[in-house]
A and B are shown apart, each in its own frame.
Chain A
Amino acid sequence: MIIIGERINGMFKDIGEALRNKDPKPFQHWALKQQEGGAHYLDVNSGPAVPTEERPEAYKWMVNVIQEVSDLPLCLDSTNYDAIEEGLKLCKRPAMINSCPAERAKIERVFPMAVQYNASLIGLTMDKKGIPKDAENRVAFAMELVAAADEFGLPMEELYIDPLILPVNVAQEHAPEVLESLRQIKTLANPAPRTVLGLSNVSQKSPDRHLINRTYLAMAMAVGLDAAIVDANDDALVDAAATAQILLNKSIYADSYLKVFRTR
């Protein structure tokens, strides 16, 4: 299970302010803290903190200040592909691109870029019309992403398909459809594409967010989830991920498996 730490996001007040003030400290603080929590990747998202035209520069700056303190690979999270490309050029380890929807114009821009920079790519099962409600249409979009990976020569193991989970309080019927999508996405190609979720979205504006998050994470892992963008400092959630990994026979059991999961 790949844990992608979500905390370096301009939507959080401390990161947004730090980005405007070019203050590296909060970036470096959260990079290290998430690494300690068990993150394997660090998501990097400027949020709306800087105007679009300044984002390429902002991503360069963020990548540099984070890499000063952490060796973790980065997950560059933006809809501004120029910003992502500037970031990719600086990444010391193969990065992840977050993300590309199943729209032809964007596929043609992003897939070759992933191949060029040896990066992984998160593909979203949606197009301009939005997020489908049922598993069938999510999987149809996933198939387009799989075919694109084949077309542009992106190794299937580098494609992470995100079937897009929505908040359970307002879009409850999506949760089981996403589970079914995860199951089917694993059958689209051999080797299978990988899967990812922006997990925290499932509990937006609900009480007991942590409980909802980790319960859904365990359920999703059972049907083939490979990675999740989560709060890497939610210890109970990371414990649940480590435990699910053991119960799926993906890591060899040891009494100290919770510790092992965090120190890999």
Chain B
Amino acid sequence: MGLTGLEIYKQLPKKNCGECGTPTCLAFAMALAAGKGSLDACPHVTDAAREALDSASAPPIKAIKFGSGSILGDETVLFRHDKTFYHPTTILIQVSDTMSDDEIAAKVAEINDLEYDRVGLHYSLDGVAVVNESGDAARFAAVVAAVAKATEKSMVILSNSAEALKAAVPQVAERKPLIGSATADNYEAIVNLAKEQAVPVILKADGLDALNDLVEKAQALGYKEFVLDPGSRTPSQSLANFTHLRRLAIKKKFRPFGYPVIAFTSKSEPLDEILEASVYVTKYASAIVIKTSIKAHLLPLLTLRQNIYTDPQKPIQVEPTLHVVGDVNEDSPFYITTNFSLTYYSVEGEVEASKIPSYILPIDTDGTSVLTAYAAGKYEPDKIAAAMEASGIADKVKHRNVIIPGYVAVISGKLQELTGWKVIVGPRESSGIVSFARTL
């Protein structure tokens, strides 16, 4: 992202001395913005200005990596329809060191087991947040070690005590946990620990002003692997804070807030908690720590995350394999369509409404609709014939009838020739399927 002339101008000394070879600072700023000169040509520019200009050309929100493949931050928009959200929210489940060893082992086993396969996609939980509620540094360190042994997933290590973190973190530093939280009172010890162990650290302060102060102080320690926590614990306040943080980082290039954000749920009732976490998934939290670990509670949250972080510019596709609607048998009708999800689900919905168990084969058209695919040469009879062959439909039904979309009636002759199947031209619109199916 280039700097604007005004942003550069504000950092220049405004002496208009002409020593850079340009008559005024304003003209020099414009030349720099246009890429026509170097800042080094100005002998009066301060180090602070140079730093400000360098960092202003960095991405608005720093990417923070931790654990097993968790990437936080590195986002560029406020609304996904403007481009896309890149790095799905990392979701972690909280484990307290006040729980017994057995309870902890059971909880971590439960977390490891949170894997889902749904509509051709695989979801899993990202990690465990170990919280020091016992107040005992040795107990905390033992629990952190036990959790690290029991799971390969990403870890967040949370304590208010620098001592407890010093006991717990070094033994698992190679797992690159995210640690926290550094506050105004203890940030020096905790940020320095994070720096020594090369792990990212959460900076927590009450409110945005205090957070701004804390970030600047922590940066002065020569470390920049931060995740921000504005301290709010109610959904409405967190929503406001996360929006400000994201907006300031992107729209105003406000560097102290150019870091990802972590959210903690406050609700104890699991259904409320999932609703709360849903707000944070949609509104800019890069990581969320939640309490519930029940499989049914988490599926909707993980599904929402998947949906929100889908690239809106890419058409959503369904798997181009043979799909089944209802309790099919060897007489079931066989429809073909495309793998564009809008197209496929329109067809599937109508086939379902016809109440006749059926097979549907979405042809892989790179997620384009029937007419788009046809116009682009992605819906040719030879390709459809090959997909029919590969799908194994011939072994599943005893008839040899294939129903094609009415808009591509023109391919019926060639398809019939290639496959030897009787090609039936269906209705143009999928809304005609219900009445069409009755005539079969």
Q: Please list the residues of chain A having a beta carbon within 8 angstroms of any beta carbon in chain B.
A: 139-140, 143-144, 146-147, 150, 187-192
Give A64 Cβ to nearest chain B Cβ, in Å. 38
Known: A187-B4, A188-B4. A147 touches B33 (CB 8 A): no
Contact of B10 with A150 in the complex, beta carbons under 8 Å: yes
A-binding segment of B22-30, B319-327, B374-382, B418-426:
B22-30
Contact of A187 with B26 in the complex, beta carbons under 8 Å: no
Contact of A187 with B27 in the complex, beta carbons under 8 Å: no
Does B66 sit within 8 A of A, measured CB to CB? no
Does B7 sit within 8 A of A, measured CB to CB? yes
Interchain Cβ contacts within 8 Å, total number? 38
Contact of A187 with B33 in the complex, beta carbons under 8 Å: yes
Contact of A189 with B30 in the complex, beta carbons under 8 Å: no
In the assembled complex, which residues on chain B have CB atoms less than 8 Å from the CB atom of A147?
6, 9, 26
Contact of A143 with B10 in the complex, beta carbons under 8 Å: no
In the assembled complex, which residues on chain A have CB atoms less than 8 Å from the CB atom of B33?
187-188
In the assembled complex, which residues on chain A have CB atoms less than 8 Å from the CB atom of B10?
150
- Binary contact track B89-112/A, C-beta < 8 Å → 1, others 0: 000000000000000000000000
In the assembled complex, which residues on chain B have CB atoms less than 8 Å from the CB atom of A146?
5-6
In the assembled complex, which residues on chain A have CB atoms less than 8 Å from the CB atom of B6?
143, 146-147, 150, 188-190
B7 partner, pick from A139, A140, A144, A190, beta carbons under 8 A: A190
Known: A147-B9, A150-B10. A189 touches B4 (CB 8 A): yes
Give A184 Cβ to nearest chain B Cβ, in Å. 8
B3 — nearest CB in chain A belongs to which residue?
A190
Interface size, chain B (Cβ < 8 Å)? 14
In the bound complex, what is the Cα–Cα distance between A51 and B107 (angstroms)? 87
Give B43 Cβ to nearest chain A Cβ, in Å. 22
Give A252 Cβ to nearest chain B Cβ, in Å. 11
Q: For residues 26 through 71 of chain B, which have their beta carbon under 8 Å from a beta carbon of chain A? A: 26-27, 29-30, 33
Known: A147-B9, A150-B10. A190 touches B4 (CB 8 A): yes
In the bound complex, what is the Cα–Cα distance between A30 and B82 (angstroms)? 40
In the assembled complex, which residues on chain A have CB atoms less than 8 Å from the CB atom of B9?
143, 147
In the assembled complex, which residues on chain B have CB atoms less than 8 Å from the CB atom of A188?
4-6, 30, 33
In the assembled complex, which residues on chain A have CB atoms less than 8 Å from the CB atom of B7?
189-190
Known: A150-B10, A187-B33. A144 touches B26 (CB 8 A): yes
In the assembled complex, which residues on chain B have CB atoms less than 8 Å from the CB atom of A144?
26
In the assembled complex, which residues on chain A have CB atoms less than 8 Å from the CB atom of B253?
190
In the bound complex, what is the Cα–Cα distance between A95 and B7 (angstroms)? 28
Contact of A139 with B30 in the complex, beta carbons under 8 Å: yes
Listed residue (B5, B7, B26, B251) with the most chain A CB atoms within 10 angstroms of its CB: B5
Q: What are 20 A-to-B residue pairs whose CB atoms are below 8 Å?
A: A139-B30, A140-B26, A143-B9, A143-B26, A143-B30, A144-B26, A146-B6, A147-B9, A147-B26, A150-B6, A188-B5, A188-B30, A188-B33, A189-B4, A189-B5, A189-B6, A189-B7, A190-B6, A191-B251, A192-B4
A193 — nearest CB in chain B belongs to which residue?
B6
| 10 closest cross-chain pairs (CB), A and B | A189-B6, A188-B5, A189-B4, A190-B4, A143-B30, A146-B6, A143-B5, A143-B26, A188-B4, A147-B26
B30 — nearest CB in chain A belongs to which residue?
A143
In the bound complex, what is the Cα–Cα distance between A187 and B29 (angstroms)? 12
In the bound complex, what is the Cα–Cα distance between A140 and B5 (angstroms)? 10
A191 — nearest CB in chain B belongs to which residue?
B251
In the assembled complex, which residues on chain A have CB atoms less than 8 Å from the CB atom of B29?
143
In the assembled complex, which residues on chain B have CB atoms less than 8 Å from the CB atom of A191?
251
In the assembled complex, which residues on chain A have CB atoms less than 8 Å from the CB atom of B5?
143, 146, 187-189
B14 — nearest CB in chain A belongs to which residue?
A147
Give B124 Cβ to nearest chain A Cβ, in Å. 37
In the bound complex, what is the Cα–Cα distance between A258 and B6 (angstroms)? 37
Contact of B4 with A140 in the complex, beta carbons under 8 Å: no
In the bound complex, what is the Cα–Cα distance between A128 and B9 (angstroms)? 24
A189 — nearest CB in chain B belongs to which residue?
B6
B252 — nearest CB in chain A belongs to which residue?
A190
In the assembled complex, which residues on chain B have CB atoms less than 8 Å from the CB atom of A187?
2, 4-5, 33
In the bound complex, what is the Cα–Cα distance between A76 and B5 (angstroms)? 29
Q: For residues 245 through 264 of chain B, which have their beta carbon under 8 Å from a beta carbon of chain A? A: 251, 253
Given contacts A143-B9, A143-B30, A188-B33, 16 further A-B contacts (CB under 8 A): A143-B5, A143-B27, A143-B29, A144-B26, A146-B5, A146-B6, A150-B6, A150-B10, A187-B4, A187-B5, A188-B6, A188-B30, A189-B4, A189-B5, A190-B4, A190-B7
In the bound complex, what is the Cα–Cα distance between A146 and B33 (angstroms)? 14
In the bound complex, what is the Cα–Cα distance between A189 and B6 (angstroms)? 5
In the assembled complex, which residues on chain B have CB atoms less than 8 Å from the CB atom of A190?
4, 6-7, 253
In the assembled complex, which residues on chain B have CB atoms less than 8 Å from the CB atom of A192?
4
Q: For residues 103 through 140 of chain B, which have their beta carbon under 8 Å from a beta carbon of chain A? A: none
Listed residue (B9, B29, B253) with the most chain A CB atoms within 10 angstroms of its CB: B9
In the bound complex, what is the Cα–Cα distance between A187 and B6 (angstroms)? 9
A144 — nearest CB in chain B belongs to which residue?
B26
B29 — nearest CB in chain A belongs to which residue?
A143
In the bound complex, what is the Cα–Cα distance between A189 and B10 (angstroms)? 11
Q: For residues 412 through 440 of chain B, which have their beta carbon under 8 Å from a beta carbon of chain A? A: none
In the bound complex, what is the Cα–Cα distance between A146 and B7 (angstroms)? 11
Give A87 Cβ to nearest chain B Cβ, in Å. 30
In the bound complex, what is the Cα–Cα distance between A139 and B30 (angstroms)? 9
Give B252 Cβ to nearest chain A Cβ, in Å. 9
In the bound complex, what is the Cα–Cα distance between A204 and B89 (angstroms)? 58
In the assembled complex, which residues on chain B have CB atoms less than 8 Å from the CB atom of A150?
6, 10
In the assembled complex, which residues on chain A have CB atoms less than 8 Å from the CB atom of B251?
191
In the bound complex, what is the Cα–Cα distance between A114 and B59 (angstroms)? 35
In the bound complex, what is the Cα–Cα distance between A147 and B6 (angstroms)? 7
In the bound complex, what is the Cα–Cα distance between A179 and B191 (angstroms)? 52
A186 — nearest CB in chain B belongs to which residue?
B4
In the assembled complex, which residues on chain A have CB atoms less than 8 Å from the CB atom of B4?
187-190, 192
Give A37 Cβ to nearest chain B Cβ, in Å. 33
